[in-house]
Structure 1
Amino acid sequence: MPEFDLSIRRGTIVTASDRYVADIGIRNGRIARIAEEITGAAEEIDARGLLVMPGGIDAHVHLSQPTSDGTVMADNFESGTRAAAAGGNTTVLPFALQEKGKSLRECVRGYHAKADGNCVIDVSFHLIVTDPTPHVLGQELPALIQDGYTSFKVFMTYDDLKLDDSELLEVFEVARRERALVMVHAEGHDAIKHMTRKLEEQGKTAPYYHAIAHSEIAEREATHRAISHAQLTDTPIMIVHVSGPDPLEQIQWARRRGLKVLAETCPQYIALTREDLAGLNMDFEGA
């Protein structure tokens, strides 16, 4: 009987600190040996000229998620996980969105039903809490955290998603007590609505003006407010998709003071600017 179920041979192994050519022996789905040469496995993959590295984890994905106007995200669990695998990711964490007025537990069951049998890689879920009723905060959310859903997202803008400051503080306190991580979409709702209304009155509705309405100032203000709520309740938070230096300065300010604040950005905020939204003729081409 072969010692290994699979050997990956002659590939360039890439780790966090090293890069070298070797063979990998796999037994029962686990790496059992790394050596200069491993032969005689039940199955062999010739990885000569290829990089062999741990699978990536994409921790912020939206799949099969509806929006307020009835639109559903273009990627479902099959297409999204296939795309992830093609990019070297072996785990993704999409969101299970609670629609207002609905049970958080039922929403999680619904997303599992969408995912079951349609994923080619590992999938787990963050939650999105949009309706923090006493039942949700007192029973459903704590129970789901105990079941392993240890991170969830809250929004500070969008009419059908946002929580007010009082609701944010209540949610943060549940997270602290149950030892969960809160992910925060930090943008100032009232400032965005004000700017949007002014732009629409002037007929300025091309994609370029999205960046004007969603000003970095509004993101900076909301980031500081979220950090203040987290400091008040002693709750770890992650500010998601930080888009520029102004909100980042608030995060650095918090971290210098020892606050438990994490952050992430997105490739478009590194590679693209407001001007890229303008397109060729300040029309929808900028989208």
Structure 2
Amino acid sequence: MKVLILNIFRISAMVGLVGVGIYYFLNLESFISLEDSLSKAIKNEQNSSLQLEIDKNKSEALITDLYRERSKMRQNIEELENNIEKLGKDIELIEPLMLKIKGENMTTDDELSLISGELKKSELPLDSILKENETIFQRHSDLLELRRKSFEKLESLSRQADSLVGDLTALSKERQVAQSNYSSKREETLLELKHPGHLYYGDETEVLVSSKAPSGKGLFIDQGRENGFRENMLFTVKKNPSPEEIPFILRTTIVEDEFSFLELIELGSSSKSMNVEDGEKLFLIRTGDSNTSY
């Protein structure tokens, strides 16, 4: 009986082994198909990794171009601002000279009127008048010559002032064109980049002064991380968006969710003082230097 059971188990095992072999040969194509699918999946993953690396290199190249263009535009704008400031000082020096010459002309006109009145009152013979008033006539001639020279000098200064005003206007337009070109180039580049989620280089924002530091070297604002501010960000600051105003520079040193402290620093030709009041509106433009981390 035991031998019979043992033989039955042996026969069942052999039948099962034969069945497995038959199943393997019948489904051989399915195993080959799975191997091909696995190879294709591995190849697709490798292609995706390569494409991701290519896209990353393109983004880094675009960011490098933006930094280079921003540096070039900022240098041009600073040179234009320096030239405009110099022309403004030249005009301020010429204006007092013009006022002085106008005053001298008025004095000369008064003296000429006085001399003409004295001549009309004289009823002496012509020879006697010439002798007695020789000094007056000489003074009259001298005053006429002085007046002529004064008018020539005034005309020269007027032409010089007009030329300076024209140069100032041309430089202002040139700076506007440079600023427009920079903004256009920046917008084109940023369209191809994903915004980082905080204030980026060239971004503009308006803030209200919450309070001014007692030392006068900084100020608090009611904006922070939720508004895109981060530590060590550098901003050019103006009270109004006029291009003629010389900006001052602020750096964020403390940034919380809903408030920040900005410290006044000196950089290049920026303003060395900060004359602001609590509640005053300021216009900030994100800029950067070699130590900027964002």
The structure whose residues are more often helix, as a share, is 2
Q: TM-score w.r.t. structure 2 length?
A: 0.24
Q: TM-score w.r.t. structure 1 length?
A: 0.25
Tell me which structure has the larger Cα radius of gyration: 2
The structure whose residues are more often strand, as a share, is 1
Task: Tell me which of the two structures has the higher relative contact order, counting C-alpha pairs closer than 8 angstroms and 6 or more residues apart.
Answer: 2
